[in-house]
Amino acid sequence: MRTPGSRLRDAVLGAPQETERLRRLSLPRRQAMPVFGADGVSSLAYSPDEVVMVLALAGTAALSLAPWVGLLIAVTLLLVVGTYRYNLREVARSGGDFQVVSDRLGPRAGTAAGVSLLFDFVLTAAVSAAAASSYLVTLLPALVGHRVEVCLVIIAVLTAVHLRGIGLIGLLNPVPAYLFVLLVAVLVVVGLAQDAAGTLGRAASADYGIQPGRQVESVVTGAGLALLVLRAFSSGAVGLTGVESVSNSARFFRRPRARGASQTLLAMGLVSAVFLVAVLHLVRATGAVVVMDPRQLVIDGAAAPADLHQMPLLAQVSRAVFGDGLLGALVPIATVLVLLVAPAAAYSGFPVLASAMARRGYLPVHLNARLNRAVYANAVLLLGAAACAVVLAFGAQVNDLIQLYVLGVLFSMSLTQAAVIRTRHRSIRLVLDRLPRKRLIRDQLVTCVGFAATVLGLLIVLVTKLVQGAWVTVLVVVVGTWLCLRIKSHYERVDEELAVRENNPLKALPSRVHAMVVIPRLRLPALRALAYARASRPSSIEALVLNIDETRTHRIRALWDRYEVPVPLTILAAPFRDPVAPVVRHVRRFLKRSPRDVVVVYIPDYVVEHWWQALLHHRLSRRLVRALRREPGVITAVVPWRLGREDGQDVPDPTQTPRVVDGQAPGEPAASETTQTAEGQR
């Protein structure tokens, strides 16, 4: 019978699915492309802002470099996309970047790549939510001053939606991504046409002045200019994060997976590169500007307030091209929608990657069941909670979060390409046929070019962003890798300790089994526990009574003598009214006298009908089980009494000798009702 809890779980997580059906779960290309390509395409919502913010540090004159920085980013993106497509077959075959790096470069490198990817999944959700909140504040000015709250609500909604899994996401997501691409394409075409005709409008911030930062003379000349351009490049290169999202989501594509992922990667790269350069050109043409610190702006001759909300560049360009009416608001609306879609790859990839790392022992085993609904939901909730923590720690400003973002992606991509290079190097040495060998050498050269590009980008980010916030990512990867390796070491020690060997101690049986029955009060649950203990035929048995209440103790002793129960009664002193410590001390004293014996402690317990009724009982059984589970040579057996569903007619008479039928005593507890604490299970 389905309970209200199971109905609620099915409503939130979806109805149970057969394991084989879940294994075959995949999306057709028309759905997978917008779902997993949205991460890269949506970076257009904030990457132009990041480029302009950095250049604005040098004043208005430096903003003319924005299209050229965009062109540099676009070329790098296309280069990485073009080379990374040659790795997708290897990545899809192995199951993901973490598996590829672990198998080819070793567990330490693989763990570092896995931790980096997990953190980037968290940042994807946080950055997308922060960018969406910025556009929402632009559309709804009443939300100004509540960016963090809006961002947290967005993450909560995204987490709730993604609890249903990739099937529902595939049905909901294609429309926003296609709509965003269509509207931005129209914006670019119309904007470029107006620019050519000389009718392009001016942005709302075109008349703002910019106070350049300190030492501007050294910034705009020589090495300072190069460093400024490199920093702008590293800030605007967030579109590279979409490459990793598609790569790690290849398993969700319908077969042939590598081809579908490759086509998605190519389409995403082309759209992102072309639109980025075009939008940055329109930004320069319309005079739109954003800065890191609003106080750097000069409005009507005065410095802007620190809490000024700056309209995102894409929204400014949209209003300059289409006006302030409905058409001008369509692009920001579509941008919000695509930013809500963008974390789909992160929410689907995080549980898969966490499960893969848990299967190899680098994360807790609680995450090792990707096909289990509850475990999938736990991983999704963990991602949502981590994204909220990042927003609370660093705020809802996209620029602050971007400093953490790109480094991890470039690091994991570099490791993946290094792993593929090593694999192909071995294959080239083994393959002697001319044509296959020639193809392998071609692919190897292409991958080497991509590896050089990602390593160069990684070095640029390290040099330009380490102080601005990238050090947090470095710290997370280093500490996270150390923790994962410690978890792996723990599991290896457990496996070593629990492995069955030739001199198996299980061959040596305990000399005796001693039963102890805890009697809190002489009622039906205690009588059942006593009867079950006797039915198990222990070598010796005793009943334990805690002397917390003298009157109750005397009553139990009188009833014991009256009914002539053939079990010795042991009264345990409890001067501090603690029912647990006296039992533990008594068990330890017995095992000290008889170290080769096994002690089975039978504990009566109530099973209530409703959850709130559990609050009305002491639940002594749970406290005793927790206290005894670490004692060697001790087994606890909880004997349940289901309140409201039992009449006591099946309780054996504890004064009678138990009768054994076919090797099992009547009323003997089922194995599922016995909790063994002598040995834990991994």
Chain centroid offset of residue 314 CA: 30
In terms of domains, do 460 and 517 share one?
no
Give the number of other CB atoms < 10 A from CB of residue 423. Answer: 19
Q: What is the pLDDT of residues 419-450, one digit of tens each?
A: 888 888 888 877 767 787 888 888 888 888 88
In terms of domains, do 443 and 528 share one?
no
pLDDT value for 33: 74
Q: With respect to residue 627, please indicate whether it lies within any of the assigned structural domains.
A: yes
In terms of domains, do 559 and 428 share one?
no
pLDDT value for 426: 82
Q: With respect to residue 665, please indicate whether it lies within any of the assigned structural domains.
A: no
pLDDT value for 405: 82
In terms of domains, do 518 and 461 share one?
no
Strand partners, 637: 602, 674
Q: With respect to residue 210, please indicate whether it lies within any of the assigned structural domains.
A: yes
Residue 546 belongs to a domain with what CATH number? 3.40.50
Residue 119 belongs to a domain with what CATH number? 1.20.1740.10
At residue 29 the predicted structure's pLDDT band, cuts being 50, 70 and 90, is low
Q: Which of 606, 565, 599 is nearest to 584 (CA)?
A: 599
Give the Cα separation of 641 and 607 in Å (integer). Answer: 6
Q: What is the pLDDT of residues 243-291, one digit of tens each?
A: 777 777 776 777 776 777 778 888 888 888 999 999 999 999 998 898 8
Domain count, the chain: 2
In terms of domains, do 550 and 404 share one?
no
Q: With respect to residue 11, please indicate whether it lies within any of the assigned structural domains.
A: no
Q: With respect to residue 107, please indicate whether it lies within any of the assigned structural domains.
A: yes
Strand partners, 518: 544
Give the Cα separation of 511 and 514 in Å (integer). Answer: 10
In terms of domains, do 366 and 396 share one?
yes
At residue 402 the predicted structure's pLDDT band, cuts being 50, 70 and 90, is confident
Give the number of other CB atoms < 10 A from CB of residue 584. Answer: 17
Q: Which two tokens stand for residue 483?
A: 């923790």
At residue 374 the predicted structure's pLDDT band, cuts being 50, 70 and 90, is low
In terms of domains, do 484 and 515 share one?
no
For residue 149, the surrounding DSSP H or E stretch is helix 147-162
Q: With respect to residue 503, please indicate whether it lies within any of the assigned structural domains.
A: no
In terms of domains, do 532 and 485 share one?
no
In terms of domains, do 464 and 541 share one?
no
Give the number of other CB atoms < 10 A from CB of residue 359. Answer: 15
Amino acid at 633: G
In terms of domains, do 557 and 421 share one?
no
Give the number of other CB atoms < 10 A from CB of residue 278. Answer: 22
Give the Cα separation of 354 and 357 in Å (integer). Answer: 5
In terms of domains, do 423 and 516 share one?
no
Length of the chain, in residues: 682
**b/e map of 4-36 (b: 16 or more CB within 10 Å)?**
eeeeebeeebbeeeeeeebeeebbeeebbbbbb
pTM: 0.79
Q: With respect to residue 662, please indicate whether it lies within any of the assigned structural domains.
A: no
pLDDT value for 647: 64
Q: With respect to residue 32, please indicate whether it lies within any of the assigned structural domains.
A: no
Domain of 540 in residue numbering reads as 511-642
In terms of domains, do 452 and 533 share one?
no
Task: Check pLDDT > 90 for residue 183.
Answer: yes
